[in-house]
Structure 1
Amino acid sequence: MTISTTIDPAEFRKVLGSYPTGVCVITALDGEKPAGMVVGSFTSVSLDPPLVGFFPDKSSSSWPLIEAHGHFAVNVMGSDQQDVCRSVSAKGAEKFVGVDYVVSDHNLPVIAGSIATIECKLYSVTEAGDHWFVLGEVLRMETTSEDAPMLFHRGRYGSFAEGA
């Protein structure tokens, strides 16, 4: 027996927006220039092999550029990097104007000030409704700061505060 349920998209976003997520910028090179996108869906997936994942929207103009590179970096944003997120999430070719980054040994843009960086080889891409489920095999990773992470909750950026 199949039960049909209609879920209102606005209610879906509202309810799931109650769940806070970390904020990452996924980067790769498009020729000589950086390509990137902000995601709140990053997660660890497997220890053996070491895999991580995220879910880009199928309508993303940045994801095809990253996918074509075959490798990507996950830059975990610190709570003080809202300006980076706003720049990278903007439409157009000027996403990285004013964003400080270096190109790693794996030929990936690593954003300065990120609290951690995870460099990956594209492992798989699976259709998941109106998104893609992207898995990356970890090639290199490092924690560069003990600063507070940036969080996204109910449509706003914020930070982590320890309880008393």
Structure 2
Amino acid sequence: MFGLNLGSSSFPVLREHGAFAVNVLAADQKEIADRFAGRGGEKGPARYEGARWTEGRTGAALLDGALASLDCEVEELIERHSHAIVIGRIRGIRLGSDAAALLYWRGDYERLGWMPEEVATALGLRAY
């Protein structure tokens, strides 16, 4: 479940196709997060450029290299004022690496968890 601005370029696409993906980004995928947040000025389909995508069972775009991708279909769309509440049903899950997750918190990016290199260093498997 998430909220989506009715003025977003994604809203008419979501309404037409009835499917979406939730892609959990890895800590090293900040550029993709910025692109989708509109920080580089990209809008609409241009946001998908510069990354590799695989079409999910529902037709939604699953990001190659994401920590996890949830392929969802819209179960209910509730429009209220300037936003819609989107309730989805997961139709497929794709798991990626075990790298740290990208987190946006208080106006900046953080990571949640350790990067694989940090785990190896902590276990004494290789020098950092």
**What TM-score comes out, normalization by structure 2 length?**
0.75
The amino acid across from 2:79 in the alignment is E
The amino acid across from 2:53 in the alignment is Y
What's the RMSD between the two structures over aligned residues? Answer: 1.9
CA–CA separation in structure 2 for the residues paired with 1:118 and 1:136: 10
Shift of 1:161: 4.8
CA–CA separation in structure 1 for the residues paired with 2:82 and 2:24: 24
Structure 2 unpaired stretches of 5+: 115-128
**How many residue pairs were aligned?**
110
2:28 aligned residue (80, 105, 116) = 80
Shift of 1:129: 4.8
- Summarize deviations over 1:11-46 as a string: whole Å, max 9, x none: xxxxxxxxxxxxxxxxxxxxxxxxxxxxxxxxxxxx
* Structure whose residues are more often helix by fraction: 2
Name 2:4's counterpart in structure 1: 56
Shift of 1:70: 0.9
**What TM-score comes out, normalization by structure 1 length?**
0.60
The amino acid across from 1:132 in the alignment is A
Of 110-119 and 85-94, deviating more is 85-94
CA–CA separation in structure 2 for the residues paired with 1:57 and 1:96: 19
1:40-55 alignment runs, 5 A limit: 53-55=1-3
Name 2:62's counterpart in structure 1: 110
Name 1:8's counterpart in structure 2: none
> Does the CA contact (< 8 Å) of 2:57 and 2:91 recur in 1?
no
Structure 1 unpaired stretches of 5+: 1-52
The amino acid across from 1:83 in the alignment is E
